Amino acid sequence: MIEDIISIAREAGEIIRNGFGTDFNIEYKTNESNLVTEIDKASEKLITEFIKKKYPTHGILAEEGGETRNTSEYVWVVDPLDGTTNFAHGLPIFSVSIGVQKDNKTIAGTVYDVMNNIVYSSESGSGAFANDRKLSVSKNGNLSHAVLVTGFPYNIYENPETALEKFAALIKASRAVRRLGSAAIDLCYVARGVFDGFWEVQLNPWDMCAGKLIVEEAGGVVTDFAGNEINIFTKKILASNGFVHKEMMKILNEN
Ligand code: IPD
Ligand code: CA
Ligand code: CA
């Protein structure tokens, strides 16, 4: 199945790469910050049609509305373009994220970093890879030496979950905090040891499904802010190398 997941993610990435910088149609979703382009929709259509054809009994949960519920224990969780704001503004940081769950556990996933042509992939129990290279998280246990990454939900003007205070506290406590604009790529960068930790307060299942497995299979830890195990429907996510986890948790809970 992983070969199929990777090849359809690559094909979707091709649509996205060809659409980058062209005059595509843009619509608003919940507000003027929350965009969807015709390329998001074309990518999702390609992926969901592939699943329906090759795995007709499987369920699908895809961001732009392609939800198929059935009795299968398998569900494909799809973000057809993670990083739409970047894509729409010409910033080449975005991905395709596809995770497959069996009985609510992610068993395989891929994040395709479209413009760098890197396939991040994992099958549970078999490690995580960037193309053919095996990934491991960083070893740094000192938060003041850590480089972190985060993202903000589209209703950040409401400052949900005191997201801005959490950001202020962690940027002061660490070496740096970056904001790339694709949560799936953020998670892969934790898996490859570029970032020591990632957090976000209102993530969606398709943003994290594949990336969470990739971090865990690279030796990292993914929980909520209280250190509890999470599933893809948990909103608050903290992913780290494990060594800065407790210190990050403390700051996230105090702010
Ligand atoms: C968004 C990106 C962003 C994160 C947002 C997501 P989208 O996904 O992953 O980094 O901060 O919470 O909604 O809308 O580009 O697929
Ligand atoms: Ca997303
Ligand atoms: Ca998306």
CATH topology of domain 2-134: Fructose-1,6-Bisphosphatase; Chain A, domain 1 (3.30.540)
57 by Cβ neighbours in 10 Å (0-12 / 13-18 / 19+) ranks as: exposed
CATH number for domain 143-254, candidates 1.10.10.10, 3.40.190.80, 3.40.50.450, 3.90.1150.10: 3.40.190.80
pLDDT tens readout for residues 156-198:
999 999 999 999 999 999 999 999 999 999 999 999 999 999 9
106 by Cβ neighbours in 10 Å (0-12 / 13-18 / 19+) ranks as: buried
The residue type at 103? D
The reply to whether ligand 1 has any atom less than 6 angstroms from the CB of 122 is: no
Question: Which residue's alpha carbon is nearest to atom 16 within ligand 1?
Answer: 82
pTM of full prediction above 0.95: yes
pLDDT tens readout for residues 241-253:
999 999 999 999 9
- What residue ranges do the domains of the chain occupy? 2-134, 143-254
16, 41, 61, 82, best to mutate for ligand 1 pocket (most atoms within 8 Å of CB): 82
